[in-house]
Amino acid sequence: MLTLLLVMMLPALLWAQLPLTDCTLSHPGHALVVRASCGTLEVPLDHDRAEAGGLSLQFAVIPAENSSTKATPLFFFAGGPGQSAMSVAAILMQLRNSVGKDRDLVFIDQRGTGQSVALDCPPDEDLQHLISDDSRIARETGKCRDALTVDPAYFTSYQAVHDVELLRQALGYEKINLLGVSYGTRMAQLYLKAYPTAVRSVVLDGVIPLTVVLGPEFSKNLHASLELLLQACKKSKTCAQTFPQLSGDWQAYLQIPLREKRELSMAHPRTGKTLDVVVDREVMDSALRMLSYSNITQVMLPLLLHATIEGDWRPLISQALQVAASLESELSLGMHNSVICSEDVPFMQAAPPVTGGSLLNRLQQQLELICQHWPKGKVFADQHGIPVFNAPALLLSGELDPVTPPRYGVQAAKYFTRSRHIEVSGQGHNVMEKGCIPKLIRRFFNELQLTDERVKCVKDTAKLPFFIDLLGPAA
């Protein structure tokens, strides 16, 4: 009996290596507050050069509800790049209620995010996030870089992966489960690649295969997602009746000249302050992209697209500015730049020529422009090489995801010797909190497999109705 008690107490004793204090976790866009145990992890600034100095990283542990259960814990990797995992923890209600029953949930603010030396850029008071002028992009990027008090070259996934391993060791966990969302799926795969014996299983939501370089396919992925969304509108009786010329609206939008400009005077969507902005097709494309991530805003797009073709660009821009303001409060843009400029832009092929009839025509060039003014850091030698993973994996995709489409999940599944890929119809980017998915994740972590019978429930995932006017869907 004494031996059993010692084994049951082991995680708590090992936690003592890192002093933990009671804390609360919150999200800037929500009123939810979650209780947790928080701590600080001291890590090298450069894992290859101890003399470079150090960083203090913040993390939180939400202990398993069942204190008698000591199942292998779950480490969560947030998206972005640039999102705070500790902040996201506050809104993952379904995950806490499912997986958190049996397992400790561990959230580390990756270096450069949240409370871990966040690489935040000066706020854009006038919300000019969408402006595509190259000179402004270069100027704002340089301003952000110069305002930082630490070298952003040390804020790549390479360094962060080794941070996570130090945390696992410090908390005394022999093995861990991984759950990554969006960019976090890259982090999870890189950690698995670097420390395969430390990983029991993996769940990836909104999958970025390690072989994929982010940026060059943004246009194609967004275009395909919007085509599917418009098809879904046509299949909806109310949406089809409200927007009978939607196909024509879409083609008309694609023919708007890239440099056609409109001077708009509009109310700030949150404060009511009058904004005077100059908008062109590139800005509109960026607006469409922002609104296509979540099915909450996707269902507004037929209405906003129709209004645009009718001559009023303000509804689309207003909605996009609201999303952009929320993103600014959630993402550390400097950390985002450090990852993209080190891990993606250097691996891009030459950008295609700028043409009409497609979306985000100059996005790759703009990313390259940002990275001309941003320091590059170390990446793994085989950063985008084809991996072979032996850990059991569950991969999740939303049918309408504009950035990590289901074909990415299919592709990444091939790199696992044991995997299941689930596509959720009618959903956008990230589905882990939708329908029966939280229960499937819990069952997968418990049993390391899912039967065909179990996953049938995914077909019942609710789809939001389309807006027919600015007041919302039909009554």
The pLDDT tens digits for 262-300 are: 888 887 777 778 888 888 888 899 899 999 999 999 999
**pLDDT at 12 (0 to 100):** 38
Query: Does residue 11 have a cis bond before it (omega within 30 degrees)?
Result: no
What does the alpha-carbon distance between residue 305 and residue 252 come to, in Å, rounded to a whole number?
10
- What is the mean pLDDT of the segment spanning 66-86? 90
Query: Would the pLDDT of 6 be above 50?
Result: no
What percent of the chain is predicted at pLDDT more than 90? 70
pTM, two decimal places? 0.93
Closest Cα to residue 36, out of 1, 81, 76?
A: 76
Superfamily of domain 17-118+151-214+385-460: Alpha/Beta hydrolase fold, catalytic domain (3.40.50.1820)
Q: How far is CA 105 from the centre of its chain?
A: 19
Question: Pick the residue with more confidence: 127 or 341?
Answer: 341
Contact 108, 454 (CB under 8 A): no
- What is the mean pLDDT of the segment spanning 354-376? 88
Question: Pick the residue with more confidence: 12 or 336?
Answer: 336
**pLDDT at 1 (0 to 100):** 34
- Give the model's confidence band at 475: pLDDT under 50 very low, under 70 low, under 90 confident, else very high: low
Contact 226, 417 (CB under 8 A): no
- What is the mean pLDDT of the segment spanning 374-396? 97
Query: Would the pLDDT of 44 be above 60?
Result: yes
- What is the mean pLDDT of the segment spanning 375-381? 97
Pick the range with the lowest mean pLDDT from 189-203, 308-322, 409-423: 308-322
Residue 338: CB atoms within 10 A of its CB come to 30
Q: pLDDT averaged over the chain? A: 90
Query: Would the pLDDT of 142 be above 80?
Result: yes
Query: Would the pLDDT of 5 be above 50?
Result: no
Question: Pick the residue with more confidence: 321 or 315?
Answer: 315
**pLDDT at 277 (0 to 100):** 82
